[in-house]
Structure 1
Amino acid sequence: MPARIHIVGASSSGTTTLGTALAVRLGAAHLDTDSFFWEATDPPFTAKRPEAERVALMEAALAGADAWVISGSLIGWGDVFVPRFDLVVFLHVPHAVRMERLIARERERYGAAIEPGGAMHAAHLEFLAWAQAYETPGFPGRSLERHRAWLAGLSCPVVEIAGTPSLDESVARVLAAAE
């Protein structure tokens, strides 16, 4: 069974949730790309780490690990890890569901700070605009178009999970594909 799995999808598609569940089920390490992409700041997600530093930190985290699950997106900076993948899982959640999840997560994390007049309101609106553009053709950020092109170039098996199956159903599909 593949022990090196990468889970990719749009923001709030469930990559971290599925990655955590799979890592527990497989007895594998779980790494989230946000932990490598972003420097630790307050508020979070405001300062990107230099690419070489991201790669070095992830290399160190993977050193000696036979089994791991990486959730999030490595596109544009983590191609050095692609040859190590045994399986890639692509989560494609309907836009409305994804945005509802994203807004709920932002409210849970930041509360009143993202409301009009709050210290993070402008950053929140900027993030929502970025996330809204995922399905927009030609969008230069993390996008469905870029994900599809990246997935098409992989040599390992790719499993797409579309819609909103339960977490248990998604885990079962990945485990079945990994056999």
Structure 2
Amino acid sequence: MRIHIIGGSGSGKSYIAELLSDKLHIPHYDLDNIFWDHQSNEYGVKAPGDERDRRLREIIGLDSWIKEGVYRSWVAPSFDAVDKIVVLMTPLSVQEERIWERYEERIADIVPNKKRETLEGIHNLLAWNKDYNLTKLPNLIDHWDYKDKRTLVRDNLDLLELQLM
């Protein structure tokens, strides 16, 4: 089974990907770990394109996986291989609350952190996420070629009850 989970930042992609991975016994991949250069001293630096493309192709070549990430155009070639695309439609207010909580936990070293986030970066993320949820995601849903593979979910925990195949 091949599943791709998309949704705004703080929508619960990583959380539900991990739960589904445990339930279905298939590996999951956080595309942020491939797309961004976590070795950089600055926040928001992309990994080299050829390296992230190679790593994405390796995942796509596997028999089963759960990928999660907001990326659309970069991962477009993999949508042909996917069995199910899950779109998390978590309310924007919930996402924004989670973004702040995650930032505060990382700054306080409560949770492991590969990212070098800044307050300015969080404000930029919140602005980007608002635009994504109010403009880009609805446009994607209305005009996407993969409607037959798509499942819209308002509460990510509802995914555990769905038959994905």
Common fold by TM > 0.5: yes
Partners of 1:86 and 1:156 within 8 A in 2: no
Please show how residues 1-179 of structure 1 align to structure 2 within 5 Å: 3-41=1-39, 45-63=43-61, 65-111=62-108, 120-137=118-135, 143-149=136-142, 152-154=144-146, 156-162=148-154, 164=155, 167=157, 169-173=158-162, 176-178=163-165
TM-score by length of 1: 0.77
Partners of 1:88 and 1:156 within 8 A in 2: no
Deviations 1:151-177 (A, max 9, x none): x21164211102x36x2x32112xx13
Stretches of 4+ aligned residues off by more than 6 angstroms: none
TM-align CA RMSD: 2.4
Q: CA deviation at 1:67?
A: 1.4
Deviations 1:107-130 (A, max 9, x none): 111249xxxxxx822222222222
Tell me, which stretches of 5 or more residues in structure 1 are unaligned?
A: 113-118, 138-142
The DSSP-based 3-state class of the residue aligned with 2:99 is helix
Deviations 1:50-77 (A, max 9, x none): 33321211222444x3211001123121
Larger radius of gyration: 1
TM-score by length of 2: 0.83
Q: Residue type of the partner of 1:132? A: K
Q: CA deviation at 1:42?
A: 5.6
* Identical counterparts, % of pairs: 25
